[in-house]
Structure 1
Amino acid sequence: MSPRPHTMVRGLTAAAAITLLTGAGIAVAAQQASAAAGCQVTYSVNQWSTGFTGNVTVTNLGDPITGGWNLTWAFAGNQRITQGWSATVTQTGQQVNAASPTWANSLATNATANFGFNADYSGTNAAPTTFSLNGTACTGSVPTNPPTTTPTTPPTTPPTSQPPVGNKVDNPYAGARGYVNPEWKAKADAEPGGSRVSNNPTAVWLDRIAAIEGTSGSSSNGAMGLADHLDAALAQGAGYIQLVIYNLPGRDCSALASNGELGVNDLPRYKSEYIDPIAAIQANPKYAGLRIINVIEIDSLPNLITNTNVATCATMKSNGGYVQGVGYALNKLGAIGNVYNYVDAAHHGWIGWDTNFGPTADIMLQAAQASGNVRNVHGFITNTANYSALTEPFFTINSAPGGTSVRQSKWVDWNFYVDELSFAQAFRTKLVSVGFDSGIGMLIDTSRNGWGGANRPAGASTSTNVDTFVNQSRIDRRIHAGNWCNQSGAGLGERPKAAPASGIDAYVWVKPPGESDGSSSLIPNNEGKGFDRMCDPTYTGNERNGNSMSGSLPNAPISGAWFSAQFRELMANAYPAL
């Protein structure tokens, strides 16, 4: 199963936003000579005293661009770009060029491209006043007499006006009984008191090619294959089944415990040996009455925003493997009329800062656009295989003990969210604003974020010291919000439930309680799963968890294997209590 690599770039104490509308001009670059000239750019920044993050959206108002695009502008001051994402951003003096990534060279009529960058500056940070797309000045309109030549490719409609894929219900969880995985149920029933929770629906993880057909022996995923589970769901009379699609090339690029079997250049194998067989099985007409819910590629896209300092993540960003892989999975699976795709959207302790929040939404849109239809995405899921509290009942992001905002506490660390529910609802709004359908719903994995038991605070702290107040008030009892592996003191959270809050399709147990996040020490295996020190209870941490102890339970097996001690602790600390 997936660990959760965390954070990276901290939040900002000041913000500025500027919008520039752009469009008409003369001829475009040679490969675009037949395209009508017109474009629109939105440029916004979040800045602090010495640096800023820029977010750019360019909309092609002319005929389709098929051979690559370049957006150019000039800074007025001494701004210097240090990092870019979702485009190749270069700078010479004050001149900046942002070139389309290799996996997204096309820009259809009314389609948008989103990218961002980090930069430093001194003095003032004036916004650029003019932009050009493939040599054409952007002013937000199209010339009254545009070229009449035939476009090289037919125009397409904006993503949000595309027709839905299949005849799908708004919320696949509503009014439907979930599939109970008999393999997980047997392990839970074998534990003292396990029958109290063993009838809850949990997800089936397809974390390698062999899991599609099923494996035998002592494998952590048991012997049942995808068709076996689908058949069992029919036999149970289940209305829906949850599956985790989890085998990208270069998988979990910033962690080791759940690295996968496919190398960074194995995208062709991912498509032909993994996604294609899954799609073929899910499309079997005998399953047409079953709502098949796919959770798409845990941890992948957010890693391209926050963790490109890790070599594998940088490779997966530059080669487009994650964006193209997710896009291919969405395309193949979304075309099936009874299939619902939910893309992993990290959690508040990972992308709750402005520097991560918008860019993550943008790259998710790119992956959806790579699928050919943004409506191949039915929704998103947060907190998968993580421990972030659903709600913090005793303080909010607006709390200010002694007049000091909780954002300044070491625990919150300038984040804009303190729990998953507020984050998921806000991120849904952001996703819609960048181009996803307004009907998308969110899922929250509540399998291990209950934090009950004797250490759960009974009320808000009375301290006026912000760190003391937060530490005494928070129900999330981790040492640091960046800790993700087999956390000591965790408990089962809210039981699976449909439509529990505004914008939320369901609380779900995607991470089956009792399945390990990773081994406490190196355990050789044939599943491609490595050893991550964040799963070692003696590890003293790194910059991503504030150089804190890992907080992990001892004697853990490899990710996905049954961890009896953890399951028993999760039941003991369940909230609501069992």
Structure 2
Amino acid sequence: ANTPWNGTQATGAQWTIGFNGTYTTTNTNPATFAINGVTCGGSGPGPDPGQQALVVTPTALTVPEGSSATYSVRLQTQPTANVTVTSTAGSGDTNLTITSGASLTFTTANWNTPQNVTVAAAEDSDTTNGSRPITVASTGLTSVTVTATEADNDTGGGTGHVDNPYAGATGYVNADWSAKAAAEPGGSAVANISTGVWMDRIAAINGTTSGRGLRAHLDAAVTQDAANGSAPLTIQVVIYNLPNRDCSALASNGELLIAQNGLNRYKTEYIDPIAAIMADPKYAALRIVTIVEIDSLPNLITNLGLAKCQEAQSSGAYVQGVQYALNKLHAIPNVYTYLDAAHHGWIGWSSNFGPTADLIASTARGTTAGYASIDGFITNTANYSALTEPHFSIGTTVNGTSVRQSRWLDWNDYVDELTFAQAFRTALVSKGFPNTIGMLIDTSRNGWGGSARPTGPSTSTDVNTFVDQSRTDRRIHAGNWCNQSGAGLGERPRANPAAGLDAYVWIKPPGESDGSSTEIANDEGKGFDRMCDPTYTGNDRNGNNLTGSLPNAPLSGHWFSAQFRQLLQNANPPL
């Protein structure tokens, strides 16, 4: 049974096992023994267990700049005399040096006790990740090479800060979500995909009964990174708790109110603790991507007719809160900030598009680092807008009538999310952002596959019929956003998928509800929004249409099995 000192062993750790007991007859050694049903014969990759060899763990070492890291050395079998093992740094980044353990002595008594070699990375002014090979050797034995790589902490480059944190990296797999996905029929096909970790209330920082906290996620990411070889690891964290949050909706309302000291609480009880955890040096090798306050700034452009949004605008709470978050997060070299930029079905009209870009630019200018405080932008977070519409474009006409005049587009300037994201990026660069700025698109639920997906353009000469029969986005109205019936998983996450795009990402974990379809009492600050009720006939924001929501949905963020199974079934590209 586990005891307090052995209950958890990290990946790559080594320890000795045994037992205390008595036996009344001959104590015969077992012919075999097994751990978890796997027979252990002492052999495995590398030399024969009967031969002497160096055992070095790990052989790829990440060393935070200004700090140090260790690898361990031991012998494979008991020697007949003392054995000296040396570690020698080769050519490469001379800022990486061996500070202890360069010469180790193993005896007949301590041969199987790991001894550590410490490698330090000196502070420097460059912005690159240097590396240096270290040769671990002993006379007569095969040497082992340890590759030490500096995790640079100077903003502008290196693992500390690169232009695109997704390039060349693997993604953190949230074990909590992964287990739920894998438990569903067919869910194992996507259970190892990286999804966003949502900090949707103060309690989420330290963890709740329904999920681990931020530090626990980052610790797990470090463990995954250690088992990841030389590739860096990106973990995505959603920063989502502004006072008067989601001022135009109810299902995802937050716990903080502007009128109840919400902005100060946001700063001191929410952002400050998050930043303090992320700044811990043991997380310096991770690429921490933060998705900053979805649905916030765009609400100040389109929804000022609502009292909560008007309060957010007149008090300055949204802008000041976002600026505070950017200032705190940008100051951490390995943290990346991606600000929410809504989606084409929200600000795709010119009357919303330009003012939203202006507001984002002025917000950035008000931060300590200005435009540099933002690494990129994300669209379609937790939404359903189709990535591309293959059967028509914004320039398509039907019998002389532009598709913009259809009920579906309603004079929108964009028909899909990719063209919108690329155009919005261009607009932001024109406002002063650097041309290296990148976009993310959340493709977790915008695949729209399955039998309802059109296989080609409609032959109708009526513009409304043509668009309705040709569009892959099968929502009743583009303003519908809650647990949409018929949706499917979209493009799997990958870096550099299109011009101007840093990555396709799954920020909304598929299978987590957008909101409850009926009112459910809770202590999470989440209200009941009729847009999640499949019987509701809508409002002016969805053209007074039915919501298209699935029935029997739980609270936002809670597992919704029926939705997840439908997303699997309708995935596009197919699973």
TM-score by length of 2: 0.71
Match for 2:410: what amino acid?
D
1:240 and 2:228 correspond = no
Q: Tell me the equivalent position of 2:361.
A: 365
Q: Tell me the equivalent position of 2:507.
A: 510
Q: Tell me the equivalent position of 1:11.
A: none
Q: Do 2:157 and 2:163's aligned partners in 1 also have CA atoms closer than 8 Å?
A: no
Q: Tell me the equivalent position of 2:129.
A: none
1:352 and 2:338 correspond = no
1:26-425 matches, cutoff 5 A: 168-216=161-209, 219=210, 222=211, 224-237=212-225, 239-265=233-259, 266-373=262-369, 374-425=371-422
Q: Return structure 1 stretches of 4+ with deviation > 3 angstroms.
A: 163-167
Q: Do 1:176 and 1:240's aligned partners in 2 also have CA atoms closer than 8 Å?
A: yes
Q: 1:419 and 1:369, CA in 2 relative to 1: closer, same or farther beyond 3 A?
A: same
Shift of 1:257: 0.2
Shift of 1:484: 0.3
1:520-535 matches, cutoff 5 A: 520-535=517-532
Shift of 1:481: 0.4
Q: Tell me the equivalent position of 2:562.
A: 565
Give the Cα separation in 1 of the matches to 2:455 and 2:364. Answer: 43
Give the Cα separation in 2 of the matches to 1:561 and 1:370. Answer: 36
Shift of 1:370: 2.3
Q: Tell me the equivalent position of 1:451.
A: 448
Q: Do 2:246 and 2:295's aligned partners in 1 also have CA atoms closer than 8 Å?
A: yes
Shift of 1:368: 1.4
Deviations 1:338-377 (A, max 9, x none): 0100000000000000100011011111221222222110
Q: Tell me the equivalent position of 1:543.
A: 540
Structure 1 gaps of 5+ residues are 1-162
Give the Cα separation in 1 of the matches to 2:388 and 2:165. Answer: 24
Q: Do 1:304 and 1:313's aligned partners in 2 also have CA atoms closer than 8 Å?
A: yes
Match for 2:413: what amino acid?
F
Give the secondary structure class of the aligned counterpart of 1:300.
Answer: coil
Q: 1:313 and 1:165, CA in 2 relative to 1: closer, same or farther beyond 3 A?
A: farther
Deviations 1:223-245 (A, max 9, x none): x1101000101111161100000
1:462 and 2:459 correspond = yes
Q: Tell me the equivalent position of 1:37.
A: none
Match for 2:385: what amino acid?
S
Match for 1:184: what amino acid?
W
Match for 1:264: what amino acid?
I
Give the Cα separation in 2 of the matches to 1:366 and 1:315. Answer: 19
Match for 2:294: what amino acid?
I
Match for 1:309: what amino acid?
G
Q: Do 1:462 and 1:469's aligned partners in 2 also have CA atoms closer than 8 Å?
A: yes
Structure 2 gaps of 5+ residues are 1-154, 226-231
Q: Do 1:327 and 1:369's aligned partners in 2 also have CA atoms closer than 8 Å?
A: no
Match for 1:230: what amino acid?
L
Give the Cα separation in 1 of the matches to 2:201 and 2:446. Answer: 27
Q: Do 1:165 and 1:337's aligned partners in 2 also have CA atoms closer than 8 Å?
A: no
Q: Do 2:248 and 2:306's aligned partners in 1 also have CA atoms closer than 8 Å?
A: yes
Give the Cα separation in 2 of the matches to 1:264 and 1:363. Answer: 20
Deviations 1:177-228 (A, max 9, x none): 1000000001001101110000100000000000001112xx3xx2x11010
Deviations 1:472-510 (A, max 9, x none): 000000000000000000000000010000000000000
Give the Cα separation in 2 of the matches to 1:269 and 1:233. Answer: 28
Give the secondary structure class of the aligned counterpart of 1:476.
Answer: coil
Give the secondary structure class of the aligned counterpart of 1:428.
Answer: helix
Give the secondary structure class of the aligned counterpart of 2:502.
Answer: strand
Q: Do 2:339 and 2:377's aligned partners in 1 also have CA atoms closer than 8 Å?
A: yes
Match for 1:177: what amino acid?
T
Give the Cα separation in 1 of the matches to 2:365 and 2:282. Answer: 30
Give the Cα separation in 1 of the matches to 2:542 and 2:441. Answer: 23
Give the Cα separation in 2 of the matches to 1:569 and 1:232. Answer: 30
Give the secondary structure class of the aligned counterpart of 2:298.
Answer: helix
Give the secondary structure class of the aligned counterpart of 1:313.
Answer: helix
Give the Cα separation in 2 of the matches to 1:287 and 1:371. Answer: 25
Give the secondary structure class of the aligned counterpart of 1:500.
Answer: coil
Give the secondary structure class of the aligned counterpart of 1:444.
Answer: strand
Percent identity of paired positions between Structure 1 and Structure 2: 71
Shift of 1:165: 9.4
1:430 and 2:403 correspond = no
Match for 1:326: what amino acid?
V
Give the secondary structure class of the aligned counterpart of 2:171.
Answer: coil
Q: Do 1:165 and 1:375's aligned partners in 2 also have CA atoms closer than 8 Å?
A: no
Give the Cα separation in 2 of the matches to 1:249 and 1:545. Answer: 25
Q: Do 1:249 and 1:321's aligned partners in 2 also have CA atoms closer than 8 Å?
A: yes
Match for 1:200: what amino acid?
I
Give the secondary structure class of the aligned counterpart of 2:185.
Answer: coil
Shift of 1:464: 1.1
- Give 1 or 2 for the bigger CA radius of gyration: 2
Deviations 1:82-108 (A, max 9, x none): xxxxxxxxxxxxxxxxxxxxxxxxxxx
Give the secondary structure class of the aligned counterpart of 1:566.
Answer: helix
TM-score by length of 1: 0.70
Match for 1:318: what amino acid?
S
Give the secondary structure class of the aligned counterpart of 2:271.
Answer: helix
Give the Cα separation in 2 of the matches to 1:469 and 1:522. Answer: 38
Q: Tell me the equivalent position of 1:153.
A: none
Give the Cα separation in 2 of the matches to 1:215 and 1:553. Answer: 27
Q: Do 1:253 and 1:312's aligned partners in 2 also have CA atoms closer than 8 Å?
A: yes
Deviations 1:126-179 (A, max 9, x none): xxxxxxxxxxxxxxxxxxxxxxxxxxxxxxxxxxxxx85995211100000100
Q: 1:277 and 1:165, CA in 2 relative to 1: closer, same or farther beyond 3 A?
A: farther
Q: Do 1:328 and 1:370's aligned partners in 2 also have CA atoms closer than 8 Å?
A: no
Give the Cα separation in 2 of the matches to 1:188 and 1:453. Answer: 20
